[in-house]
Amino acid sequence: MSGTSTMPLRPLPALIFASRWLQLPLYLGLIVAQAVYVVLFIKELWHLVTNATQFGEQDIMLVVLGLIDVVMISNLLIMVIVGGYETFVSRLRLQGHPDQPEWLGHVNAGILKVKLAMAIIGISSIHLLKTFIEAGALGAPGGTYTEAGVMWQTIIHVTFILSAIGIAYIDRMSVPLAARHGSSAPRP
């Protein structure tokens, strides 16, 4: 006997528990968004390949950073879709599958938040790097960046980093010390 009960839930708890399936259309919508990002990636890659001989080094670097940005956002979507579905809707039952992500076996809401925060920092880093590369045109006529804009992007990026540190710290503090060390007895 596995120790799990198959006793039916009372109607209200059953309804509340079943409401988790209302998230399914949200995750399916994110899969559609993922497909849109694949189209965007192919479009940008085609733009890079067809204009490679006309682009300078900085132009190529900016397009490649854009491609990396699309990949990182796509990775973020996968983490939200797979991790969110597994955590909040239903088990995927991928045990033993050779392609199961390593992190999925021990995902919970706290770990998912930390992973998402790290992905957002990575995406923000790419945007900030693109801004710094293009910052040579600060104040130039038709330029898209201002000193204040660069400053605010940097402040927002630092805020993301501090938020991720805070989330990771709170998540770490919420796990009992014994669980972090893999034992049930307190350490001397």
pLDDT at 93: 76
In a domain, 5, yes or no: no
* Residue 27 pLDDT > 80: yes
pLDDT of residue 139: 60
Task: Provide the pLDDT confidence category of residue 186 given band limits of 50, 70 and 90.
Answer: very low
Give residue 118's pLDDT.
85
Domain assignment present for 89: yes
**Does residue 2 lie in a domain region?**
no
What's the token pair of residue 167? 């989330």
| pLDDT bucket at 1, cuts 50 / 70 / 90 | very low
Residue 30 lies in a domain: yes
Query: What pLDDT sits at residue 117?
Result: 85
Q: Residue 67: is its pLDDT beyond 90?
A: yes
Reported as a pLDDT band with limits 50, 70 and 90, residue 178 is low
Total domains in the fold of the chain: 2
Domain termination residue (choose one: 96, 116, 140): 96
pLDDT digits (tens, 9 = 90+) for 112-139: 788 788 888 888 888 888 888 777 666 6
Residue 61 sits in the same domain as residue 26: yes
| Average pLDDT of the chain, as a whole number | 81
Q: Which residues contact 115 (CB under 8 A, 6 or more apart)?
A: 79, 83, 103
Give residue 128's domain range: 108-175
116 and 81 within one domain: no
Tens digits of residue pLDDT in 152-172: 889 999 999 999 898 888 888
pTM reported for the whole predicted model: 0.69
Give the pLDDT band (50/70/90) at residue 184. very low
Q: Which of 96, 118, 136 is the last residue of a domain?
A: 96
> Could you say which of 32, 65, 96 is where a domain stops?
96
Least confident interval from 20-24, 36-40, 43-47, 99-103: 99-103
Share of the chain above pLDDT 90, in %: 26
How far apart are alpha carbons 72 and 128 in whole angstroms? Answer: 14
| Residue 16 placed within a domain | no
Write the DSSP assignment of 106-172 as a string of letters: G--HHHHHHHHHHHHHHHHHHHHHHHHHHGGGTT-TT-S--HHHHHHHHHHHHHHHHHHHHHHHHHH
Residue 166, CA atoms < 13 Å, CB-side half-sphere: 6
Token match 């945007």: residue?
A: 127
Q: Which of 90, 85, 96 is nearest to 30 (CA)?
A: 85
Least confident of 21-25, 98-102, 157-161: 98-102
Q: What is the rounded CA–CA span in Å between residue 129 and residue 178?
A: 41
- Is the Cα dihedral 12, 16, 19, 21 positive or negative? negative
